[in-house]
Amino acid sequence: MTVQLTRRALFESAALAALVPSAQNVFAETDPKAEADWTGYTFCDSCNHGPHCGIKFHARGNTAHRIENWAENPNHFLCSKGWATLQRLYNPNRLLYPMKRTNPKGSADPGWVRISWDEAYKTIAAKMLATREKYGAKSVMFYAGDPKEPRAPIQRLARYFGSTTWCTESSAACRSGCLVGETLNFGVENIGAAPTAKTKVFMICATNCWSKPIGWWNMVLAAKARGVKIITVDPRRTKAAEIADVHLQLKVGTDSALAAGITHVLVKENLYDKAFVEKWTHGFAEYAKYCEAFTPEKTEEITGVPAEKIVEAARLWAKGPGVYISTPQSLSHNSNGVQNTRALLMLIATMGYVDVEGGLPFPVGPKGMRLHAFGLHDDMIDPAWWDAPEQREARLDREAVPVWNHMMDQCSPNDFPEWVEAGKVRMFCGWGFNVNIWPQPETYRKAFEKLDFGFACDYFYRPASHDALDIILPAAINYERYAPYGAYGPRVAARRPLKPLGEAKEDWRIALELGCIVDKPENFFEGDPVKCLDWILTKYEGFSWAKLDAMLPKVGTLPGGVKGFRKYETGHMRPDGKPGFNTPSGKIEYVSEVLKAFGVEPLPKFKPMMPLTKEFDLRFINGTRKPYITHSKTRQDQPYLMEIEDRLTIDMNPKDAEKRGLKEGDDVLIRSAWGGPVKARLTVTILVPEGTIGGQYGWLGDMNTQTLMTREHRDPITGYPCYFEVPVSVTKA
Ligand SMILES: Nc1nc2c(c(=O)[nH]1)N[C@H]1C(S)=C(S)[C@@H](COP(=O)(O)OP(=O)(O)OC[C@H]3O[C@@H](n4cnc5c(=O)[nH]c(N)nc54)[C@H](O)[C@@H]3O)O[C@H]1N2
Ligand SMILES: Nc1nc2c(c(=O)[nH]1)N[C@H]1C(S)=C(S)[C@@H](COP(=O)(O)OP(=O)(O)OC[C@H]3O[C@@H](n4cnc5c(=O)[nH]c(N)nc54)[C@H](O)[C@@H]3O)O[C@H]1N2
Ligand SMILES: [Mo]
The pLDDT, as a whole number, for residue 335 is 97
Q: By alpha-carbon position, which residue is closest to atom 35 of ligand 1?
A: 147
Report whether 90 contacts 21 (CB < 8 A). yes
Q: Which ligand is nearest to the CA of 432?
A: 1
Q: Are residues 431 and 551 in the same domain?
A: yes
How many CB atoms lie under 10 A from the CB of residue 658?
A: 12
Residue 592 is assigned to a structural domain of this protein: no
| pLDDT at residue 223 tops 80 | yes
Q: What pTM was estimated for this model as a whole? A: 0.95
User: Which of 633, 670, 674, 720 has most ligand 1 atoms within 8 Å of its beta carbon, as the pocket-test mutant?
Assistant: 633
Give 434-485 as a 3 state SS string.
CHHHCCCHHHHHHHHHHCCEEEEEECECCHHHHCCCCEEEEECCHHHCCCCC
Task: State percent of the chain over pLDDT 70.
Answer: 94
Strand partners, 486: 493
Please indicate, yes or no, whether residues 164 and 312 belong to a single structural domain of this protein.
no
Span of 188-202, 596-610, 620-634 with lowest mean pLDDT: 620-634
Higher pLDDT, 166 or 10: 166
Query: Which pLDDT does position 31 carry in this prediction?
Result: 57
Q: Which pLDDT band holds residue 322 (cuts at 50, 70, 90)? A: very high
pLDDT of 2 above 60? no
Give the integer Cα–Cα distance in Å for 426 and 133: 12
CATH code where residue 654 lies = 2.40.40.20
> Is a pLDDT exceeding 70 seen at residue 30?
no
Residue 404 shares a structural domain with residue 544: yes
Same domain, 444 and 374: yes
Q: How far apart are CA 54 and CA 71, in angstroms?
A: 8
Could you tell me if residue 325 is inside a domain? yes
Q: Residues 80-99: pLDDT tens digits?
A: 889 989 999 999 999 999 99
- 521 in a structural domain: yes
**Per residue in 146-159, pLDDT tens?**
999 999 999 999 99
CATH number (domain holding residue 316): 3.40.228.10
Residue 183 lies in a domain: no
| Residue identifier of the C-alpha nearest atom 8 of ligand 2 | 630
Distance CA 255, CA 248 (A): 10
Which of the listed residues 19, 54, 89 is the one where a domain comes to its end?
89
Residue nearest to atom 34 of ligand 1 (CA): 147
* CATH code assigned at 57: 2.20.25.90
Residue 577 placed within a domain? no
Answer yes or no: is the C-beta of 431 below 6 A from any ligand 1 atom: yes
Asked if 342 and 379 sit in the same domain, the reply is no
Question: What confidence score (pLDDT) does residue 34 get?
Answer: 66
Confidence of residue 9 (pLDDT cuts 50, 70, 90): very low
Residues 291 and 419 in one domain: no
Q: Is residue 154 part of a domain?
A: yes
Do 421 and 539 fall into the same domain?
yes
Q: Measured in angstroms, how far is the CA atom of residue 631 from the centroid of ligand 1?
A: 6
Q: What is the pLDDT of residues 233-246, one digit of tens each?
A: 999 999 999 999 99
Instruction: Write down the pLDDT at residue 374.
Output: 67
Candidate of 625, 637, 724, 726 to mutate for ligand 2, largest count of ligand atoms within 8 Å of Cβ: 625
User: Which structural domain range is residue 534 located in?
Assistant: 99-175+368-557
In the reported structure, the alpha carbon of residue 554 is separated from the centroid of ligand 1 by a whole-number distance in angstroms of 30
Per-residue pLDDT, 708: 98
The rounded Cα 42 to chain-centroid distance in angstroms is 20
What pLDDT, on a 0 to 100 scale, did the predictor assign at position 32?
Answer: 56
Q: Please tell me whether residues 165 and 58 are part of one structural domain.
A: no
Distance, CA of 120 to CA of 93 (rounded, Å): 21
Q: Which of 73-82, 324-333, 629-638 has the lowest mean pLDDT?
A: 629-638
Residues 400 and 536 in one domain: yes
CB of 150 within 6 A of ligand 1: the answer is yes
The answer to whether 685 and 652 are in contact (CB under 8 A) is yes
320-338 burial, b at 16+ Cβ within 10 Å, e below that, comes to bbbbbbbbbbbbbbbbbbb
Residue 448 sits in a domain of what CATH number? 3.40.50.740
Tens digits of residue pLDDT in 568-585: 999 999 999 999 999 999
User: 3-class SS at 139?
Assistant: helix
Ligand closest to Cα of 232 equals 2
> Which residues does a 6 A CB cutoff place in the pocket of ligand 2?
47-49, 146, 174-175, 206-208, 210-211, 233-236, 238, 250, 252-253, 255, 327-331, 334, 621, 623-627, 629-631, 724
- DSSP E strands, 174-314: 201-205, 229-233, 246-248, 281-282
Residues 383 and 497 in one domain: yes
- Please state, rounded to an integer, the average pLDDT across all residues of the chain: 93
Read off the pLDDT of each residue in 242-252 and give the average, rounded to a whole number.
98
pLDDT: which is higher, 40 or 629:
40
**Contact present, 717 and 338 (Cβ < 8 Å):** yes
Residues 376 and 337 in one domain: no
Do residues 457 and 484 both lie within one domain? yes
Structurally, the chain folds into a number of domains equal to 4
